Structure 1
Amino acid sequence: MSWVLLIVAGTLEVVWAFAMKESQGFTKVMPVIVMVAAMAGSFTLLAMAMRSLPLGTAYMVWTGIGAVGAFAVGVWFLGEQFTVQRGIAAALIIAGMVTMKMS
């Protein structure tokens, strides 16, 4: 169950990062509300997952999901550039998360 909580927490991290971008510097109210709610949910679920997962593993997977997820959302929904270097960097983050989970 802790892993499910952690994955949802990481997904909410992507949501708040996207909402922050959509808020256009906190000038749009609805994205700010979504951002704050997603942040609260993300932190709460991360804390719950950390009850039984090691700190380093939980935090690395949470930030990794957020980083790779935000990168993917940027490319797919915001038209940000995908380059081989950025793809390799995302793959290395994923490899690090898998390695941390396996250790």
Structure 2
Amino acid sequence: MAWIVLVAAGMMEAVWATALSESKGFKRRKPTILFILALALSMAGLAWAMLSLPTGTAYAVWVGIGASLTLVWGFIRGEERFTVARSLLLVLLLGSVVGLKAVS
């Protein structure tokens, strides 16, 4: 169960990171509210997962999922440039996250 919560918390990390950018320095209300809610859910999920998972593993997986999804969202929205090198590095990052789960 901790792994499911950790993955969901990682997904919320991508939401809060994107909302933070969209808030334009907390000047836009809806993205700011979304940022606060997603941040709270993300941190709570990470904290709960760390009750039964090693801190380093949980944190690495959380960051990896959040960073990967944030980058993919940037590709989709055209805010990030999609290149072969970036896509290969993204696959490597996701493979590392899966690898951490496999050896845990």
TM-score greater than 0.5 by the shorter chain: yes
Instruction: Count the aligned residue pairs.
Output: 103
Match of 1:90 in 2: 90
Percent identity among equivalent residues? 44
Give the 3-state SS of the residue equivalent to 2:82 in structure 1.
coil
Structure 2, gaps ≥5 residues long: none
Q: How does 1:1-103 map to 2 (within 5 A)?
A: 1-103=1-103
Structure 1, gaps ≥5 residues long: none
Q: TM-score normalised to the size of structure 1?
A: 0.93
Q: TM-score normalised to the size of structure 2?
A: 0.93
Q: Which amino acid aligns with 2:95?
A: A
Query: Which 4+ residue blocks in structure 1 deviate beyond 4 angstroms?
Result: none
Q: Which amino acid aligns with 2:100?
A: M
Q: Which amino acid aligns with 1:39?
A: L
Give the 3-state SS of the residue equivalent to 2:51 in structure 1.
coil
Q: Which moved more, 1:20-29 or 1:40-49?
A: 20-29
Q: CA shift at 1:78, angstroms?
A: 4.2
Q: Which amino acid aligns with 1:46?
A: L
Q: Which amino acid aligns with 1:95?
A: G
The C-alpha deviation readout for 1:42-97, integer Å capped at 9, x for no partner, is 00011001111111111111000001000001111244210111111111111111
Write the distance in 2 (CA, Å) between the matches of 1:27 and 1:13: 20
